[in-house]
Protein backbone atom coordinates (compact mmCIF):
# COMPACT_ATOMS: atom_id res chain seq x y z
CA UNK A 1 0.00 0.00 0.00
CA UNK A 2 1.45 3.35 -0.98
CA UNK A 3 0.07 6.80 -0.38
CA UNK A 4 1.43 10.29 -0.82
CA UNK A 5 2.20 12.49 2.15
CA UNK A 6 2.79 16.23 1.85
CA UNK A 7 6.51 15.75 2.59
CA UNK A 8 7.45 12.20 1.59
CA UNK A 9 6.22 9.04 -0.06
CA UNK A 10 5.04 6.59 2.61
CA UNK A 11 5.19 2.88 1.86
CA UNK A 12 3.24 0.67 4.26
CA UNK A 13 3.66 -3.10 4.60
CA UNK A 14 1.86 -5.53 6.91
CA UNK A 15 3.84 -7.95 9.11
CA UNK A 16 2.34 -11.07 10.67
CA UNK A 17 1.94 -14.84 10.43
CA UNK A 18 -1.31 -14.73 8.44
CA UNK A 19 -0.61 -15.54 4.75
CA UNK A 20 -2.35 -12.30 3.72
CA UNK A 21 0.45 -10.21 5.32
CA UNK A 22 3.23 -8.74 3.19
CA UNK A 23 6.00 -10.13 5.43
CA UNK A 24 5.91 -12.96 8.00
CA UNK A 25 8.54 -11.46 10.34
CA UNK A 26 10.12 -8.18 11.37
CA UNK A 27 13.45 -9.53 10.10
CA UNK A 28 12.04 -10.08 6.61
CA UNK A 29 10.55 -6.57 6.51
CA UNK A 30 13.80 -5.03 7.81
CA UNK A 31 15.89 -6.79 5.14
CA UNK A 32 13.54 -5.61 2.38
CA UNK A 33 13.65 -1.95 3.44
CA UNK A 34 17.38 -1.18 3.40
CA UNK A 35 17.12 1.00 0.29
CA UNK A 36 14.66 3.73 1.20
CA UNK A 37 14.88 5.87 -1.94
CA UNK A 38 13.59 8.95 -0.13
CA UNK A 39 10.48 7.22 1.24
CA UNK A 40 9.22 6.47 4.73
CA UNK A 41 8.75 2.71 5.15
CA UNK A 42 6.16 1.66 7.72
CA UNK A 43 5.89 -1.93 8.96
CA UNK A 44 2.53 -2.56 10.61
CA UNK A 45 2.54 -5.49 13.06
CA UNK A 46 -0.44 -7.82 13.54
CA UNK A 47 -0.97 -10.48 16.19
CA UNK A 48 -2.35 -13.35 14.12
CA UNK A 49 -2.01 -16.06 16.80
CA UNK A 50 -4.28 -17.05 19.67
CA UNK A 51 -4.60 -14.89 22.78
CA UNK A 52 -1.96 -15.71 25.37
CA UNK A 53 0.63 -16.71 22.78
CA UNK A 54 3.43 -14.32 21.85
CA UNK A 55 3.48 -12.79 18.39
CA UNK A 56 7.18 -13.65 18.17
CA UNK A 57 9.52 -15.55 20.50
CA UNK A 58 13.23 -14.80 20.65
CA UNK A 59 15.08 -17.87 21.89
CA UNK A 60 18.44 -18.14 23.59
CA UNK A 61 21.15 -17.09 21.16
CA UNK A 62 18.87 -14.87 19.05
CA UNK A 63 20.27 -11.37 18.56
CA UNK A 64 16.85 -9.75 18.47
CA UNK A 65 15.47 -7.64 15.67
CA UNK A 66 18.32 -5.55 14.32
CA UNK A 67 17.30 -2.34 12.59
CA UNK A 68 20.56 -1.54 10.80
CA UNK A 69 21.95 -0.71 7.39
CA UNK A 70 19.56 1.88 5.97
CA UNK A 71 20.71 5.40 5.10
CA UNK A 72 18.05 7.37 6.94
CA UNK A 73 17.24 11.07 7.17
CA UNK A 74 14.60 13.17 8.89
CA UNK A 75 12.32 12.67 5.85
CA UNK A 76 13.31 9.14 4.82
CA UNK A 77 13.27 6.54 7.61
CA UNK A 78 11.74 3.27 8.80
CA UNK A 79 8.94 2.86 11.31
CA UNK A 80 7.44 -0.16 13.05
CA UNK A 81 4.00 0.26 14.56
CA UNK A 82 1.20 -1.97 15.78
CA UNK A 83 -2.03 -2.20 13.81
CA UNK A 84 -5.19 -0.67 15.26
CA UNK A 85 -6.80 -3.16 17.65
CA UNK A 86 -3.57 -5.18 18.04
CA UNK A 87 -1.91 -3.26 20.86
CA UNK A 88 -0.80 -5.45 23.79
CA UNK A 89 -3.10 -5.81 26.81
CA UNK A 90 -1.17 -7.27 29.79
CA UNK A 91 -4.39 -8.37 31.53
CA UNK A 92 -5.44 -10.71 28.73
CA UNK A 93 -2.07 -11.18 26.95
CA UNK A 94 -3.63 -10.20 23.66
CA UNK A 95 -2.11 -8.04 20.98
CA UNK A 96 1.42 -7.79 19.61
CA UNK A 97 4.11 -8.92 22.04
CA UNK A 98 7.62 -10.26 21.72
CA UNK A 99 8.73 -12.86 24.26
CA UNK A 100 12.37 -13.09 25.33
CA UNK A 101 13.22 -16.57 26.57
CA UNK A 102 15.96 -17.23 29.15
CA UNK A 103 19.53 -16.91 27.95
CA UNK A 104 21.82 -19.89 28.25
CA UNK A 105 25.09 -18.03 27.77
CA UNK A 106 26.65 -14.76 28.83
CA UNK A 107 25.97 -11.74 26.69
CA UNK A 108 23.39 -9.18 25.82
CA UNK A 109 19.79 -10.22 25.20
CA UNK A 110 17.47 -7.76 23.52
CA UNK A 111 14.30 -7.60 21.48
CA UNK A 112 15.39 -4.67 19.31
CA UNK A 113 18.79 -3.27 18.41
CA UNK A 114 18.34 0.05 16.58
CA UNK A 115 21.27 1.47 14.66
CA UNK A 116 19.44 3.63 12.10
CA UNK A 117 19.96 7.34 12.77
CA UNK A 118 16.24 8.01 12.24
CA UNK A 119 13.64 5.43 13.30
CA UNK A 120 10.18 5.18 14.90
CA UNK A 121 8.80 2.36 17.10
CA UNK A 122 5.31 2.41 18.58
CA UNK A 123 2.85 0.12 20.33
CA UNK A 124 5.10 -2.96 20.66
CA UNK A 125 5.36 -4.97 23.90
CA UNK A 126 8.54 -6.78 24.98
CA UNK A 127 8.06 -9.37 27.73
CA UNK A 128 10.83 -11.25 29.51
CA UNK A 129 9.97 -14.93 30.11
CA UNK A 130 8.91 -15.09 33.77
CA UNK A 131 9.22 -18.90 33.85
CA UNK A 132 12.97 -19.08 33.31
CA UNK A 133 16.06 -17.70 34.92
CA UNK A 134 18.93 -16.06 33.11
CA UNK A 135 22.45 -17.32 33.52
CA UNK A 136 24.42 -14.10 33.18
CA UNK A 137 24.60 -11.04 30.99
CA UNK A 138 22.53 -7.98 30.31
CA UNK A 139 18.93 -7.81 29.11
CA UNK A 140 17.37 -4.87 27.29
CA UNK A 141 13.98 -4.58 25.74
CA UNK A 142 15.35 -2.02 23.29
CA UNK A 143 19.02 -1.24 22.69
CA UNK A 144 19.93 1.92 20.78
CA UNK A 145 23.27 2.39 19.06
CA UNK A 146 25.14 5.44 20.34
CA UNK A 147 24.93 7.28 17.03
CA UNK A 148 21.12 7.42 16.87
CA UNK A 149 20.15 10.95 15.91
CA UNK A 150 16.35 11.01 16.00
CA UNK A 151 14.71 7.83 17.27
CA UNK A 152 11.12 8.01 18.54
CA UNK A 153 9.71 5.39 20.89
CA UNK A 154 5.99 5.72 21.60
CA UNK A 155 3.71 3.59 23.80
CA UNK A 156 6.13 0.68 24.02
CA UNK A 157 5.46 -1.74 26.89
CA UNK A 158 8.57 -3.38 28.38
CA UNK A 159 8.36 -5.97 31.17
CA UNK A 160 11.82 -7.24 32.04
CA UNK A 161 13.59 -9.00 34.91
CA UNK A 162 16.73 -7.27 36.14
CA UNK A 163 18.63 -10.01 37.96
CA UNK A 164 20.42 -13.18 36.96
CA UNK A 165 21.13 -16.58 38.49
CA UNK A 166 24.80 -15.73 39.08
CA UNK A 167 23.76 -12.84 41.33
CA UNK A 168 24.77 -10.02 39.00
CA UNK A 169 22.32 -7.30 38.24
CA UNK A 170 21.20 -6.80 34.69
CA UNK A 171 19.69 -3.80 32.97
CA UNK A 172 16.08 -3.82 31.96
CA UNK A 173 14.07 -1.60 29.67
CA UNK A 174 15.97 0.51 27.17
CA UNK A 175 19.62 1.41 26.72
CA UNK A 176 21.04 4.22 24.67
Query: Strand, helix or coil at 139?
Result: strand
- Going 57 to 90 to 12 to 147, the CA torsion angle's sign is negative
Are 13 and 31 a contacting pair, CB within 8 Å? no
- For the chain, residues with pLDDT lower than 70 are 1-7, 60, 102-109, 129-140, 146-148, 161-176
Query: What is residue 95's predicted lDDT score, i.e. its pLDDT?
Result: 94
pLDDT for position 51: 87
3-state secondary structure at position 27: helix
Q: What is the pTM of this model?
A: 0.82
Quick one: pLDDT at residue 92?
87
Please tell me the predicted confidence (pLDDT) of residue 101. 76
Which candidate, 124, 107, 115, places its Cα nearest to that of 26?
124
pLDDT, residue 161, reads 62
Query: Would you say 108 and 140 are in contact if contact means Cβ atoms under 8 Å apart?
Result: yes
Per-residue pLDDT at 44: 98
Amino acid sequence: LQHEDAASLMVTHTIGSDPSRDYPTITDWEAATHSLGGAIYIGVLYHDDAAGLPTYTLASGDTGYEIVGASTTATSYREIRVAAGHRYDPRTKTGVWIKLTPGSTAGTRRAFYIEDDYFRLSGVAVIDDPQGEHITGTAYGIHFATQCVDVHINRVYVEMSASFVDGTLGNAGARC
